Amino acid sequence: MTSYAVVIPTLARDTLADCLAALAAATGPRPEQIVLVDDRPGPEAEAGALEYPLGVLGDLRARTVVLHSGGRGPAAARNTGLRAVTAPWTAFLDDDVQVGPHWCDQLVQDLAEAAPDTGAVQGVIAVPLPGERRPTDWERATAGLARARWITADMAYRTEALKQVGGFDERFTRAFREDADLALRVLAAGWRIRQGRRTTRHPVRPASRWVSLTQQRGNADDALMRRLHGPDWWEKAVAPRGRIRRHAAVTAAAAAALALAAAGRPRAAALAGLGWAAGTAEFAWARIAPGPRTRYEVTTMLVTSALIPPAATWHRLSGAWRHRNAPAWQEVAA
C-alpha cells in the first residue's frame, strides 16, 4: 500500500478545525504522519489556538506533530513540514479546505496509479458558490482555484521529487505563485504531473471589501516568476496573463494628466485624463457586470478599480527591481 504524509501550514484560522475534522472523517488508509506547521510569528504562536482543532483529529492525533516556522510564509512553512516527512509521498493541504468523504481512499488510488516518472498528482478543487444570486468579485476570484494548475490546496508530490528540486522557493512569501514555481521546477527536472480524481472542497472565506487591492502584492511575485522562468512563464504555468499591461497604461495616463496639468497644458492633460477615465471605467464594468450589482458591491468595485492599476503597477515595478538579480532557488539547510 502506498504510504503518505499530510502537511498543512496554518495561521490557526477558524477554518482549520473544519479542515482537520474532514481529514479525520475521510475513509481509507490513514496518513502515516500529519505535520501541522504553525506559521504565526513570535509569541502568538505559543497561544492555545491549536488545542481545539487538534482535538477533532481523534485517533489521528497520535500521528500528528506540530512544528513552528516563525511567520515566514506558506512556502517556508511547507518546507519546514517537508523536512519532517519520512513517507514516500507528501500531500499538501491548505488550512481552509475540506477533503471529500472518501479522500484517503481516492488519494491512495491516485498515488498507486502514478507512473514511476510521475512526480505529483493534483486533486480536484470544488468551490461552492451561492445559487440564489450572481457571485461577487471575490467569490469569482476564489472560484478560479477550481481551474488552476498545481495549487497546493490539494497537491501530492513524491517526497523524492520535492527534495531533488529543493522544495518551495521561500522568496515567495505569500500564498501566490509558490506552487506554480515549484511545479515548473519539478517538470524541468524530468518529472510529470498528472490530474487525480480525489475531490477537495474550498469554501469562499470571508474577506474585506479591499481584498482585491491587497492582492495586487502578487504582482511582485509575478516579477520573480519572470526572472526565474523567463518572459513566457505564463504559458509554461498555464496561468492567465492578467491585466498588468492595461493597469500600467491606465496608471501612465493618470500620471501624464497630472504632469501636463502642472505644466500648464490643460488640453493635453484633459486628453490624458479621458484615457485614464475610459480605462478605469472599462475595468470597473468588467468587474461589476457579472456580479450581483448591489450598492455595496458596485461601490467597492468603483473605488478599487480606480486604486488597483497604480497599486498593481507599483508592486510589479518594485518586484522587478527587488528580484532583478535573483538566482535559482537553493534548498535551505535543515
| Distance from chain centroid for Cα 15 | 16
Q: Please answer whether residues 94 and 8 qualify as being in contact, where contact means their C-beta atoms are separated by less than 8 angstroms.
A: yes
* Spatial separation of the C-alpha atoms in residues 162 and 271, rounded to whole Å: 53
Reading the block at residue 6, the C-alpha cell is 499530510
What's the rounded mean pLDDT across residues 197-209?
96
pLDDT of residue 48: 81
Q: pLDDT digits over 34-74, tens only?
A: 999 999 987 655 668 899 999 999 999 999 999 999 999 99
Average pLDDT score, the chain:
95
Q: Give the Cα separation of 281 and 303 in Å (integer).
A: 11
Report residue 33's pLDDT band, with 50, 70 and 90 as the boundaries.
very high
How many CA atoms are closer than 13 Å to the CA of 165, on its beta-carbon side?
A: 23
Residues of the chain with pLDDT > 70: what percent? 97
In sequence order, the β-bridge partners of residue 9 are 37
Interatomic CA distance for residues 164 and 90, integer angstroms: 14
In this prediction, residue 297 carries a pLDDT of: 98
pLDDT at 49: 85
Long-range contacts of the stretch 286-293 (C-beta < 8 A, 24+): 287/137, 290/134, 290/135, 290/140, 291/134, 291/135, 291/136, 291/137, 291/140, 292/133, 292/134, 292/135, 292/136, 293/134
Residue found under cell 508592486: 315
Which domains does the chain show, CATH number per domain?
4-207 (3.90.550.10), 211-333 (no CATH)
Q: In this predicted structure, what is the pLDDT of residue 334?
A: 47
Question: Using an 8 Å Cβ cutoff, are 172 and 75 in contact?
Answer: yes
What's the pLDDT score for residue 196?
97
Q: Taking Cα atoms as reference points, which of 12, 59, 3, 8 lies closest to residue 31?
A: 3
**With 50 as the cut, is the pLDDT of residue 333 above it?**
no
Classify residue 235 by burial, with Cβ atoms within 10 Å: 0-12, 13-18, 19+: exposed
Residue by residue, what is the 3-state secondary structure of 169-231?
Answer: CCCCCCCCCHHHHHHHHHHHCCCEEEEEEEEEECCCCCCCCCHHHHHHHHHHHHHHHHHHHCC
Q: What is the pLDDT of residue 42?
A: 74
Q: What is the pLDDT of residues 284-320, one digit of tens each?
A: 999 999 999 999 999 999 999 999 999 999 999 999 9
86-141 pLDDT, tens digit per residue, is: 999 999 999 999 999 999 999 999 999 999 999 999 999 999 999 899 999 999 99
CA atoms of 186 and 192, how far apart (whole Å): 8
Mean pLDDT, residues 162-178 = 96
DSSP-derived secondary structure letter, 76: H
Q: pLDDT per residue over 226-281, tens digit each?
A: 999 999 999 999 999 899 999 999 999 999 999 999 999 999 999 999 999 999 99
H helix count then E strand count, the chain: 13, 8
Q: Residue 74 belongs to what H/E stretch?
A: helix 74-83
For a pLDDT cut of 90, what percent of the chain falls above it? 94
Rounded to whole angstroms, the Cα distance separating 218 from 263 reads 35
- Residue 332 pLDDT exceeds 60: no
Do residues 303 and 207 touch, judged by C-beta distance below 8 A?
no
